[in-house]
Structure 1
Amino acid sequence: MPSPIPVSRLLPRDVYLSVDLGTCSSPLTKFSHGSSLQVPAQRLYDKVSSRHWSAVIHWEQLRAVEPVGSGGFGSVYKAEYFGETVALKKVKKCTKNKLASWQSFWAELNAAHLRHANIVRVIAATTGVPEVFGDESSIGTILMEFVGSRSLQQLIYGDAEQLAEDRWLRYSSDIAHGLSFLHAHRIVHLDIKPANVLVSSEDVCKIADFGCSLKLDGTCEVSATSPRMSHVCGTYTHRAPELLKGEAVSPKADIFAFGITLWQLLTREPPYSGDRQHVLYAVVAHNLRPSIQQHHVFRSERGRLCGTLLGRCWAGEARCRPSAQELLPHLEQLSALT
């Protein structure tokens, strides 16, 4: 079993500093009727809309659990919790690398204490699952706000509806605002791509799926040799060159992935074709990037400016890329063009 994770790693500072948490040998310990983590009693029955996430799930309050989707990470369900619609995510156990599975589960909670309009909000999470809700392949459960079943991936590739300029600009601004907030709290997502951006019924984009994320130290970088890097996965088409080369991780890795995602919004095409290993090699050795010249969308004044911004986002050197905060005025400038 992995070493115990300190409670300060899991709960917001304004919660854990004032609380007597009692004995807790490891937050990874399983119990049959709830979480081994403990939180203040007055917080156990906070409403779903509470500012803080809870380390206890009140299973008796779950109703109408319906499957929404599944993948390598596990399964997602739509449910009711204290009368409100939520998303229930059961995180899957990887039999080949159990430590990586646990690290990925806890990485999902890196942003759990944060609240932002463009980030999917975590409501509660636990490693203890009653038999009626659990199964042997699940290592934990996370309750989140229910954004909907549409992802940016589905809108780009699966829907016939138009993605007009004002719409993709709004979507890209939503993602940039979410990243700016995460990076201000020293959290790097490390798997930004259309499939991990959900679109709400109000047509607002929210960043989801933090299983590859990292909480950075004060240096705003994590060495590639750090034990915390063992669970980092991500999607090869959106991985920054420095990650492919095993160099230090910084928020600029998310900016590279944002650039690829923005290109997909504009063109509605896959960023690369061909063999995976060839793409990985070419991105590092030959500066391979998605094509701009072949698409008419980049021929207008707005398109040319957007192409220039993309070139900065997916620069080979991380230090040459803009920060998420620096992206925002550029996107505003693009929106102002008529």
Structure 2
Amino acid sequence: VVCAVYRASWHGAIVAAKIVRCLSEELFQWSVDEGRLAMSVVHPNVVKTVQMGVDLAECYFKDGVELDAVHVLWILQEYCDRGTLVDAVERGCMRTHRHIHAPPDMMAVYRTLKDIADGMAAIHAKGIVHCDLNGRNVMLTASDSDPRGYVAKVADFGLARMCHGEEMAPCKTFGTISHLPPELLKDQILSAAGDVWAFGVIMWEMVSGYRAHLEKSKEGIEVLVMSGKGAMTPPAHVPQAYKDILATCMLNDHKARPTFEELRGMFELAILEEGSETFS
């Protein structure tokens, strides 16, 4: 698959145009499934897929050799003008002031995590497992009505699949290695609970300011997580409620992790408590 994303215009609106060139029928069907799954979820915290279409039999050149692209798929999506969550975290946007060592702005962190939990709850309600939830697949878009000035939206259904209950993944490293849960790495078990583990990794990244396992090799991450020691501990200065939520998301027993519906309630309560402490 050869993929590129462009800023484009569609009926007068700015959109993100994802152009996917597929060199096999299998890859083409996978990409079509991505578009269909994305279009099936309509929620304020999920990047909206506006339209998709197919161009047939485009010629594609690689290393001077002409290849036949079976199909060219284009997917038009809502344009998010504030970049990815990873970029925002690394710029210090989740801190009281923009410095890596500044304390996290817990209200902004909680609200952003609730956005993600809201979007993921809608995705799971459709029987879809995202399979690649990470900070690069969470987009931020400007919002005048939100005190943060933005809202977060879950994006990229490239690895998403329908999954009711549990099933076997096509391979054990199905997703972004730094965010993969132990049951997937050990037993190739794919379920909605795997997305919750990945969410726990995002929680750690948002308050630490760093990307998870950045200095570890792929093999080193696998050994750590499969040994049962993959759960991440947030900095000491974050609220105990935050530590407790993160810990439940990264339980080694995937059946004991909360659902995103339950996480929504946890963050609603955390936002209320954080607000009361701010004004007390």
Q: Give the TM-score, by structure 1 length.
A: 0.68
Match of 1:223 in 2: 168
- Correspondent of 1:296 among 233, 236, 241: 236
For structure 2, which runs of at least 5 residues remain unmatched after alignment? 60-66, 96-104, 144-149
- Correspondent of 1:235 among 158, 173, 176: 176
Q: How does 1:96-175 map to 2 (within 5 A)?
A: 99-100=26-27, 102-128=29-55, 139-148=72-81, 150-157=83-90, 159-163=91-95, 164-175=105-116
- What secondary structure is seen at the aligned counterpart in 1 of 2:9? strand
Q: Is 1:305 paired with 2:241?
A: yes
How far apart, in 2, do the equivalents of 1:207 and 1:332 lie? 19
Bigger CA radius of gyration: 1
Q: CA RMSD in A?
A: 2.7
Give per-residue Cα distances to partners, 1:292-332, cap 9 Å, x unaligned.
3xx2333xxxx211111111101111101000001112112
- What secondary structure is seen at the aligned counterpart in 2 of 1:290? coil
Q: Is 1:186 paired with 2:127?
A: yes
Q: Which amino acid aligns with 2:74?
A: T
How many residue pairs are counted as aligned between the two chains? 251
Q: Which amino acid aligns with 1:110?
A: L
- Correspondent of 2:155 among 208, 214, 230: 208
How far apart, in 1, do the equivalents of 2:255 and 2:172 lie? 25
How far apart, in 2, do the equivalents of 1:232 and 1:209 lie? 17
Match of 1:245 in 2: 186
Q: CA shift at 1:179, angstroms?
A: 0.7
- What secondary structure is seen at the aligned counterpart in 2 of 1:183? helix
How far apart, in 1, do the equivalents of 2:26 and 2:172 lie? 8
Q: Which has the higher strand share?
A: 2
Q: CA shift at 1:101, angstroms?
A: 5.8
For structure 1, which runs of at least 5 residues remain unmatched after alignment? 1-71
Q: CA shift at 1:84, angstroms?
A: 1.4
- What secondary structure is seen at the aligned counterpart in 2 of 1:77? strand
- What secondary structure is seen at the aligned counterpart in 2 of 1:147? coil
Q: Is the CA contact (8 Å cut-off) linking 1:103 and 1:231 kept in structure 2?
A: no
- What secondary structure is seen at the aligned counterpart in 1 of 2:6? strand
How far apart, in 1, do the equivalents of 2:227 and 2:18 lie? 38
Q: Give the TM-score, by structure 2 length.
A: 0.81
Larger RCO: 1 or 2 (CA < 8 Å, sep 6+) = 2
Q: Is the CA contact (8 Å cut-off) linking 1:111 and 1:187 kept in structure 2?
A: no
How far apart, in 2, do the equivalents of 1:100 and 1:222 lie? 21
Structure 1 pair 129/207, CA: closer, same or farther in 2 (3 Å)?
Answer: farther
Q: Which amino acid aligns with 2:219?
A: Q
Q: Is the CA contact (8 Å cut-off) linking 1:267 and 1:297 kept in structure 2?
A: no
Give per-residue Cα distances to partners, 1:186-240, cap 9 Å, x unaligned.
11101111100000011110110100101124xx32233xxxx369831011111
How far apart, in 2, do the equivalents of 1:73 and 1:169 lie? 36
Give per-residue Cα distances to partners, 1:27-56, cap 9 Å, x unaligned.
xxxxxxxxxxxxxxxxxxxxxxxxxxxxxx
- What secondary structure is seen at the aligned counterpart in 2 of 1:155? helix
- Correspondent of 1:316 among 241, 244, 252: 252
How far apart, in 1, do the equivalents of 2:113 and 2:68 lie? 39
